């Protein structure tokens, strides 16, 4: 029995194919977001099925999540990304109690209950200061690849102080720092610290551990350390951190097939 989860995020679409009987991932893939979000999701799903030699009719149920979930025509139903993240993270880290999810356009902090359900959450989807978009702006301004930022930050000896909590004003601040001769490495490290500080302010203190870090920004070297420092807690990067939402969607699809009421969210 095969199920699929589609996470139609603001910057990328992720698909996970799941063996619903063993809860084992068969295949997963990601494609950058575009105008035709539904077509991209359908194309990625078809590509993964073809790669594994699986017919479309073998997929018994599909759950979509993420910002674009309501336009995914292949989906049988939709479930919020908060619930899907909680389900996916608890599958890869059974003791996780707090999730920090930082994507391209938003960030979330999700607190879990003892049984893995969502206890409460905080979300920032109106300001880019605590998201991957901030890193993209910095990379463009410094004329370096996004993938280079983590390594640059590790070479910083004195992270720059980025006081602005708005990306527009922070970019102006960065331009000023460059004009003053600040090292690019220190600017990148300062931006990572600023993002982490924004997350810490959003979530507040009194967070339960373990803390799992998900989303595309979790792949940027040094961000986990910046978060650990800002939160004053150990932060671990989840396995395949970009796919936890899609994985959770696929797991919930499998639960729906079995008629579990907890999956009807």
- pLDDT tens digit at each of 265 positions of the chain: 899 999 998 889 999 999 999 999 999 999 988 788 999 999 999 999 999 999 999 999 999 999 899 999 999 999 999 999 999 999 999 999 999 999 877 889 999 998 889 999 988 766 666 677 888 888 888 888 877 888 898 899 899 988 776 777 778 888 899 899 999 999 999 989 988 988 888 877 678 999 999 998 999 888 999 999 999 999 999 999 999 999 999 999 999 988 875 555 5
User: Is the pTM of the predicted complex or chain greater than 0.75?
Assistant: yes
Look up the CATH number of domain 95-238.
3.30.420.40
**Domain 1-93+242-265 in CATH 3.40.50.1370:** no
Q: How far is CA 226 from the centre of its chain?
A: 16
- Can you tell me which residue has the tokens 């698909």? 15
For 220-258, give the DSSP string: STTHHHHHHHHHTS-EEEPSSTTSHHHHHHHHHHHHHHT
Would you say 157 and 184 are in contact if contact means Cβ atoms under 8 Å apart?
Answer: no
Q: For position 128, what pLDDT does the model report?
A: 61
CA 167 to each of CA 37, 123, 188, 214, 233: distance values in angstroms, whole numbers, following the listed order: 26, 17, 14, 22, 26
Which of 74, 76, 117, 61 is closest to 262 using CA atoms? 117
Q: For position 14, what pLDDT does the model report?
A: 97
Q: For position 261, what pLDDT does the model report?
A: 54
Same fold: 1-93+242-265 with 95-238: yes
Domain spans in the chain, listed from the N-terminal domain onward: 1-93+242-265, 95-238
């Amino acid at each position: 029995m095969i199920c699929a989860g589609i996470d139609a995020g603001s910057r990328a679409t992720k698909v996970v194919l799941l063996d619903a009987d063993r809860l084992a991932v068969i295949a997963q893939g990601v494609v950058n977001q575009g105008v035709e979000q539904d077509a991209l999701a359908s194309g990625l799903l078809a590509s993964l099925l073809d790669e594994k030699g699986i017919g479309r009719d073998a997929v018994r149920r599909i759950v979509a999540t993420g910002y674009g979930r309501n336009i995914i025509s292949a989906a049988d139903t939709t479930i919020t990304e908060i619930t899907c993240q909680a389900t996916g993270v608890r599958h890869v880290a059974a003791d996780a109690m707090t999730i920090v999810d930082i994507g391209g356009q938003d960030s979330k902090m999700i607190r879990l209950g003892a049984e893995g359900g969502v206890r409460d959450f905080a979300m920032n989807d109106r300001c880019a200061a605590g998201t991957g978009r901030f890193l993209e702006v910095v990379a463009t301004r410094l004329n370096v690849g996004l993938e280079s930022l983590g390594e640059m930050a590790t070479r910083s000896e004195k992270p720059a102080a980025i006081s602005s909590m708005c990306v527009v004003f922070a970019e102006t601040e960065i331009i000023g720092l460059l004009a003053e001769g600040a090292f690019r490495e220190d600017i990148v490290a300062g931006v990572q610290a600023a993002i982490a500080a924004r997350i810490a302010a959003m979530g507040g203190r009194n967070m339960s551990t373990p803390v799992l870090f998900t989303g595309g920004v979790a792949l940027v070297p040094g961000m986990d350390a910046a978060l650990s420092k800002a939160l004053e807690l150990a932060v671990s990067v989840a396995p395949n951190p970009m796919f936890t939402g899609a994985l959770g969607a696929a797991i919930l699809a499998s639960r729906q097939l079995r008629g579990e009421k907890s999956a009807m969210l």
